[in-house]
Amino acid sequence: MPEIGEVARLVHYLKKHVAGKVISSVKTQDDTIVYGKAGTSAAAFEQAMKGKKILDAGQQGKYFWMTMASPPHPVMHLGMTGWIDLSTVPTGSYKPKKEGEQWPPRFWKFILQLDDKEKTEVAFTDARRLGRIRLVDAPADKLRQTTPLKENGPDPVVDKEIVTVGWFSEKLKKKKVPIKAFLLNQANISGVGNWVADEVLYQAKTHPEQYCNTFSNSQIKTLHDSLISVCSIACETLADQDKFPKGWLMLHRWSKGKKGQNVLPNGEKITFLTVGGRTSAIVPSVQKKTGPVAADVSANGEAKAVNGTGSSESKKRRKTEDVEDSEDSEDADEVENSKAKSKRPSKVSKTNTKSTPKKETIVTESPRRSSRRSKA
């Protein structure tokens, strides 16, 4: 799944190659999920975009948008396999764009043709149809106070002035959940997915199962510094893995199951456990428990003794990486609705600034390692 760094990459390309240009024509493929579950339709999107000037692009975690000369503005989420492709330059393919390569790309949902001399085309693609394309009818400066952005937490890079140590500490101390689950919840912090969360915890030498409200002030500061550092590097490098620090866990976690390869360059062993339904990569020699985790809390809520690096993972809880990220792809506004679905049937409502639309629960599939690694 594209996370904060991958989305920053796309926003970079939109700002560099798309902003300031007018959409001369629009083509759409009708999709009742990608458009429909976001409260719009391919026809409405086409009508709203044709002839409009794109002024800018922005990001909040895994959400990104194009700022138009006038509302509505397209606000998008990549889901598990979504991406933005440009006809003129590669935006993230693992290999350089070849002359004569297929265009339009497979699984496209919309194609915007711009009025520049290159006749640049912008395509949103999504093979698994877990992405979302919606129209938000709000002033540009109010987008982040409007659904779906308002339901999601601050972005640790864009909103550094909000995500302070004090803010982070207050959030953690109020939560009685594993730290990994806290980081993946988009209502807390936007943009952190599975690999970013694991990297943050590894760099902070923190066990993913330890409860949020058990950390000392110094541990919270270390966690905060790691969160800001990892997310900033992911965005500054535009998620180009060749530019990541060589000692990052992320560069070596994908060898799971390959004999003799689950180790870091320094020889530390990488193991895997399931936390909150997601596979977590962990280095036990570094990430030691210093407080209670789920298995260390008795039925009456009292903490049991902590035994160093031990994991509470059991055979029954061990799952393959196929379930990794299955819930972290759900955004705060859609997850909130899942609690109410059993009580009433869900409906699709249009997004506007006057009322909050009813939301849909996304049933996600397992992610695969992103192969979009070309340099910007």
> What amino acid positions are annotated as catalytic residues?
2-3, 62
What would the DSSP string read from start to end of 32-92?
A: TTTTGGGT--HHHHHHHHTTPBEEEEEEETTEEEEEESSS-EEEEE-TTT-EEEESSS-SS
SS3 323: helix
For the chain, how many residues are written? Answer: 376
What would the DSSP string read from start to end of 180-239?
A: HHHHH-TTTSSS--HHHHHHHHHHTT--TTBBGGG--HHHHHHHHHHHHHHHHHHHHTTT
Q: At what angle do helices 217-236 and 4-17 cross, to 10 degrees?
A: 40
Pairing state of beta strands 83-86 and 132-136? unpaired
Distance of alpha carbon 375 from the chain centroid = 20
What is the rounded distance in angstroms from the CA atom of residue 115 to the CA atom of residue 343? 49
The residue assigned the tokens 């550094």 is 160
CA atoms within 13 A on the CB side of 177: 14
What would the DSSP string read from start to end of 236-282?
A: HTTT-GGGS-TT-GGGTGGGTTSTT--B-TTSPBPEEEEETTEEEEE
Residue 31 CB contacts under 8 Å (≥ 6 apart), including other chains: 42, 109, 129
Cβ count within 10 A of residue 51:
13
Per-residue tokens: 280:
């977590």
